[in-house]
A = this chain, B = another copy of it.
């Protein structure tokens, strides 16, 4: 039996520091769980000079990741540099050299996960990536193992803490988007370039991974419909509240008889839904399975220590396999590759959901009738309307919630409506998710 597991870390950044600190601070607990020591024996980073919250013995440091890949004594390579290259090459090389890999790199897995998992299978090595989705929340383990008895049909959630922080500030403090973003940046929740977070791209990466694992299919990032929160108007957050909804950037995956929906967009959810109470930088994921019913997992989706917690959980899992001399106990995506099927993804045009529209129309008799006429002609039926006399630049907002409608009918209607002479600006469209209602326990 091995008495210590030797780890090489590539990427001495925030998450790397979280992993190092967790391994050090909880060394006793971790050894009590696995029976062996976990030793970080080499740390590579291009920048060895910037101050870090967690220090490393200078003898272990190197500027060259190759030093780790070439070290035959290293059992596990932890890749925490992020991005596509050179992360991808490092991981492929590590597997080829017979090392297990742990990574938090959602962008890489969303783009190249299928290829990386195939390489791992070929090389007889494992890839752990719990940290890549929902940070500290043990979501992937729950999907892959805890809920393994189920046919999972729905997964939706808040997977980006930055976007959720911004929307929370807009909702609770009435800040417009730009100001809420600036606050997020000031508190370190958002990067100088916030595109990945606010444009929904990071959420899409995570959804691509978690949905593949939920439904037993391969990862298809290119099939995820993505819309971010950059254009969210405070007015719509406020109208949403008036109707009893909260606005969240939601990742939605749904499997209806083998046809999959994959979408990320700002979404109204009922304020009494448990996801509506997820505030600030927290993440939460709601899953529905045919046996378990509704499940929700909630926690910090980012940050040095929460993400470090997930990285180290993967290391513990690997250590538990390694001490028994086994590998591939659980397939990376939960399903054995020979059983994994390619599921068709529903085009966004065919998605059926409820909608929120805000029209900017002139304040004149007959306006409502014209707009609802166009909607009716396109099979879109109205569930609720608010019209308020706040005239801005010659137009009043008219807000409508629809019953379920087909996306392409909605698109066609809004194009027609926006061409009407009574309409003063482009209509705002948001989607509503209240089938999520079943997640609220009803008596």
Residues of A in contact with B (beta carbons under 8 Å apart)? 18, 21-23, 25-26, 29-35, 130, 136-138, 141-142, 145-151, 165, 168-169, 172-173, 187, 216, 272, 274, 277-282, 289-300, 303, 305-306, 308-313, 315-317, 320-321, 324, 326, 329-331, 334-336, 339-340, 440-443
Contact = CB atoms under 8 A, between A and B. Distances in A.
Q: Main secondary structure on chain A at its contact with chain B?
A: mixed
Nearest to A287: B299
B280 A336 contact: no
Contact of A293 (B136, B169, B187): B136
A308 B320 contact: no
A312 B291 contact: yes
A148 B33 contact: yes
Contact of A320 (B151, B290, B329): B329
Given A216-B29, A279-B441, A142 B145 contact: no
Given A18-B291, A326-B326, 13 more contacts: A32-B339, A32-B340, A35-B336, A138-B146, A147-B313, A148-B313, A149-B309, A168-B443, A272-B277, A291-B309, A292-B306, A295-B299, A296-B296
Contacts of A335: 32-33
Nearest to A304: B291
Contacts of A293: 136, 299-300, 303, 305-306
Contacts of A334: 33
Nearest to A38: B149
A197 to B, nearest CB: 16
B330 A320 contact: yes
Contact of A316 (B23, B34, B145): B145
A296 B295 contact: no
Given A216-B29, A298-B274, A440-B279, A291 B308 contact: yes
B138 A147 contact: yes
A318 B18 CA distance: 32
B297 A297 contact: yes
B292 A339 contact: no
Which interface residue of A18, A21, A33, A310 has the most chain B CB atoms within 10 A?
Answer: A33
A227 to B, nearest CB: 24
A253 to B, nearest CB: 16
Contacts of A141: 138, 141-142, 145-146
Contacts of A35: 336, 339
A48 to B, nearest CB: 25
Q: Which of A165, A293, A440, A442 has the most CB of B within 10 A?
A: A293
A154 to B, nearest CB: 13
Between A22, A289, A291, A306, the greatest number of chain B beta carbons within 10 A of the residue's beta carbon is seen for A291
A313 B31 CA distance: 26
Q: 4 closest pairs, A vs B, by CB?
A: A138-B146, A149-B312, A280-B441, A32-B339
